[in-house]
């Protein structure tokens, strides 16, 4: 059994993901939650522009990868 999220609005179902099968039985559950309100593209860009550069982030990709591997597998030194 796999879940696919979506919305129901006045008789119309809208799936937010591609279903994992072409044909099959389904069960529809109506949650108590209100569906999230999606931000418009313009609003997203406005917020991104407002906060862009507000946090300085210097990341060394190789160092981060090595640190992750050391945590996961232990150090080989």
Task: State phi, psi for 36 to the nearest 5 degrees.
Answer: -65, 145
pLDDT value of residue 55: 63
Number of Cβ within a 10 Å radius of residue 16: 10
pLDDT value of residue 39: 79
For 17-55, write each residue's pLDDT tens digit: 888 888 888 888 887 766 667 778 888 888 888 877 666
Q: How many residues does the chain have?
A: 77
Tokens matching residue 10: 């006045």
pLDDT value of residue 76: 62
pLDDT value of residue 27: 86
Give how far Cα 15 sits from Cα of 19, 68, 74, Å.
Answer: 8, 36, 43
């Amino acid at each position: 059994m796999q879940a696919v999220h979506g919305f129901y609005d006045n008789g119309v179902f809208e799936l937010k993901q591609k279903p994992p099968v072409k044909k099959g039985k389904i069960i529809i559950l109506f949650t108590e939650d209100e569906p999230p309100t999606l931000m418009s593209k313009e609003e997203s860009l406005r917020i991104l522009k407002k906060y862009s550069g507000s946090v300085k982030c210097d990341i060394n990709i190789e160092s981060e990868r090595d640190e992750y591997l050391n945590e996961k597998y232990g150090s080989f030194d």
